[in-house]
């Protein structure tokens, strides 16, 4: 399943409590239509105290973790023109599919293979 943003993209949040903030996509969950963004939509998770006692490396407590956001609220920010924009699919001379900024025409970087 193809998503309009990929891991490592800079995105801006268009709706919700984090509206207007930007960050870097940390992980994509294509099947769920969601993604986590570095430092955004952070929630506090209470973890259980480890049963092993004080020797447990992490112990229990509160862990801050990015909650997944729907892909539909994420808008790609072009690395070249620094503008929240859309991407279109283009084909380069060597026949590879590329994501291209609709504003400045710059190709966006592609995901690592398999990502």
Is the distance from CB of 38 to CB of 23 less than 8 angstroms? yes
- Site membership for Zn ion, residue 80 (CB under 5 A): yes
Q: Which residues have a Cβ under 8 Å from the Cβ of 62 and sit 6 or more positions away?
A: 44, 45, 46, 47
Among residues 10, 1, 2, 15, the alpha carbon closest in space to that of 70 is found at: 15
Is the distance from CB of 99 to CB of 108 less than 8 angstroms? yes
- Site membership for Zn ion, residue 101 (CB under 5 A): yes
Rounded-to-integer distance, Cα 63 and Cα 50, Å: 14
Query: Binding Zn ion by CB under 5 A: which of 66, 103, 107, 111?
Result: 103
Query: Binding Zn ion by CB under 5 A: which of 104, 109, 110, 115?
Result: 104
Rounded-to-integer distance, Cα 27 and Cα 66, Å: 10
How many residues form the binding site for Zn ion (CB under 5 A)? 7
Mask: binding to Zn ion, 4-43, rule CB under 5 A, as x and -?
----------------------------------------
Output the smallest distance, CB 84 to Zn ion, in A: 10
Output the smallest distance, CB 66 to Zn ion, in A: 26
Q: Which residues bind Zn ion (CB under 5 A)?
A: 78, 80-81, 101, 103-104, 106
């Amino acid at each position: 399943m193809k998503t309009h943003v990929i891991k490592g993209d800079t995105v801006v949040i268009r709706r919700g409590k984090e509206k207007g903030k930007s960050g870097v996509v940390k992980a994509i969950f294509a099947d769920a239509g969601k993604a986590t963004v570095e430092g955004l939509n952070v929630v506090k998770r209470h973890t259980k105290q480890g049963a092993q006692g004080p020797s447990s490396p992490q112990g229990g407590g509160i862990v801050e973790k990015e909650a997944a956001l729907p892909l539909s609220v994420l808008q790609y920010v072009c690395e070249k023109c620094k503008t929240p924009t859309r991407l279109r699919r283009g084909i380069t001379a060597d026949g590879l599919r590329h994501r291209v900024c609709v504003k400045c025409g710059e190709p966006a970087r592609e995901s690592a293979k398999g990502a």
